[in-house]
Amino acid sequence: MENIILIVHLILALCLIGVVLLQRSEGGGLGMGSGGGGGAMSGRSAATALGKLTWMFAIAFIGTSVALTIVAARNSADSSILDRFGGAAPSIPAPTTPNQPLGTDLLPPTTGNAPLAPPRAD
């Protein structure tokens, strides 16, 4: 089901791109550059067949987007991302010495226990 919706979604995206590219450019932002009264700032604009087709493709595209979101949420509702990687979150290892506080093995080494630097090859 998800694959069918995804294929329809991709076809709608391509159709929407094609229909938008086929439309005549009206020039100017918000219809300011158009000579007549049919720009975006006027009360009514002419509804062409390509304009109506663009709206239909856009509504269908948004509908398939919502449908894909619902299907994905339904599929992942019963599982966690941690379940896919083999269980629980990693735990902090126990201290190696009784006086060592938890988590100090994650700190960088101090000068007393730092490894020796390898000899430089000059």
pLDDT at 49: 87
What is the rounded end-to-end Cα distance, in angstroms, of the chain? 65
Mean pLDDT of 81-85: 69
User: Structure pTM?
Assistant: 0.52
Q: What Cα–Cα distance (Å) separates residue 3 from each residue in 57, 58, 67, 119?
A: 19, 20, 12, 59
Mind listing the pLDDT tens digit for each residue in 24-63? 877 655 555 555 555 554 444 556 888 899 999 999 999 9
Dist CA 24 CA 18 (whole Å): 12
| % of residues, the chain, pLDDT over 70 | 48
Per-residue CA distances from 111 to 19, 31, 105, 118 (Å): 68, 70, 14, 15
Statement: residue 113 has pLDDT above 70: no
Instruction: Domain ranges for the chain, please list them.
Output: 1-22+48-76
